[in-house]
A = this chain, B = another copy of it.
Amino acid sequence: MALVVKKFGGSSVATTEKILAVAQRILSEKKPDDKIVVVVSAMGDTTDNLITLAEGIDKEPYKASYLREMDMLLTTGEQISISLLAMAFQKLGQPAISLTGSMVGMKTDSVHTKGRILDINPARVFEELEKGNIVVVAGFQGADKLGDPVTLGRGGSDASAVALAGALKADECEIFTDVDGVYSADPRIVKNAHKMKEITYREMLEMARLGAGVMQPRSVEMGHYFHIPIHVRSTFNDKIGTVIREAYTLEDNYFEIRGVAHDPKVAKIAVLGVSNTPGIAYKIFSALADANISVDMIVQSIRNLEKNITDMVFTIDESDLAQAKKVIDKVAEEIDAASVLVEEDVAKVSIVGAGMVGNPGVASKMFGALSKAGVNIDIISTSEISVSCLIKGSQLVEAVNSIHDEFFKE
């Protein structure tokens, strides 16, 4: 017997046909004694349609004063999909019951549309499982201490599934998605990328941070916290996917690195010709922080030792570029910088793996692979379990492939 939480996203339940197919698939894999909790998102376009309705009241429905009502509105999306999926199970002869976020005891703070999970009291879920029901739970939502519905924001559906699995002390949380697992590199770019059987929470977090889009960091953190293995697998086939867990269980799973991540959505800003006096870095980066802009890589390099002139180069998310440029132009004037340069054709390529700790050969192997591919390295940054290089955006595909070949060649 196993207690498993299975999570299906909105595209998996976009129509009633697909909802019936999800029910069918779950039943085909269910062993007689299995206890199953299914967490689902709103059907396909439902959320967008609800937002369009709200725009009929006010073109800016995400104003602060509306957020509580937006949550009241948006939580209906999952309530629709859970009731239909429970009916689908019943039609197939399987007792099932749907429960909202509030009903599964998913307690959140009151930050509407961006709620955080505070606690889960899933007594009702246990009761319904005991009765022989498959329990269908609304993802992405909980309720605050007043009992008001609260949505969990970006990555909230996966996070609520993993957190619920934690509270239920489930054996595993399966996340069904449009890819069939976590790959050693993006398979759309690297032809011979391989699917990992396992990856640790820490490595997965680092992969996600460095651009791998499979899982939101939030749910991986949740899995780490609750020690729940997260099985990322495909909605469209029944192959085993990738299990994210504390530590590897499989001997044959060791490589020097786990994977190659990349992020093309990067921009570089260089503040050139700055006087190298105390407080200059603080001025630049506190101004960016005040504007809520995250800075990733930072390099400070001496240009003229005699005159004590330095250059300050850093990277940010491409989407923050316009705002960051404004902020930096203003600061540059204040600190009397020679000039500000912006470069958009940059990208970041990274290797990730717990195995590289204290193994300097790994980084140099990466640099060698880039050199072999004729790729110049602009900035290098490292963490305990990763090395990242900023390169020309137009060379990203060759770079990723060359590094992947170097580490995973047969």
Contacts and interface: CB of A to CB of B under 8 A. Distances in A.
Contact of A56 (B16, B65, B69, B148): B16
Given A73-B84, A76-B76, 19 more contacts: A19-B56, A20-B57, A50-B80, A53-B80, A58-B87, A58-B91, A61-B87, A65-B90, A66-B90, A69-B83, A69-B90, A69-B97, A70-B87, A72-B79, A73-B80, A76-B80, A79-B79, A103-B147, A124-B146
Interface in A63-105: 65-66, 68-70, 72-73, 75-76, 79-80, 82-84, 86-88, 90-91, 97-98, 100, 103
A40 to B, nearest CB: 13
B56 A68 contact: no
Contacts of A103: 147-148
Contact size range, A: 35 or more
Given A16-B56, A20-B57, A68 B97 contact: yes
A69 B87 contact: yes
A70 B148 CA distance: 22
Contacts of A410: none
Nearest to A63: B90
- Each complex incorporates copies of this chain amounting to 2
A17 interface: yes
Contacts of A50: 80
Give the dominant DSSP class at A's interface: helix
Given A16-B53, A16-B57, A57-B19, A86 B65 contact: no
A58 B124 CA distance: 27
12 contacts: A16-B57, A20-B57, A54-B83, A57-B91, A58-B87, A69-B84, A69-B97, A69-B98, A72-B79, A72-B83, A76-B79, A124-B146
A65 B65 CA distance: 41
A72 B70 CA distance: 19
A121 interface: no
Interface in A30-71: 50, 53-54, 56-58, 61, 65-66, 68-70
Contact of A83 (B15, B70, B84): B70
Contacts of A146: 124
Contacts of A16: 53, 56-57
A15 B17 CA distance: 29
Interface string A307-327: 000000000000000000000
A90 B76 CA distance: 21
A107 to B, nearest CB: 14
Contact of A73 (B15, B58, B73, B79): B79
A97 B124 CA distance: 28
A58 B17 CA distance: 11
A68 B86 CA distance: 10
B87 A54 contact: yes
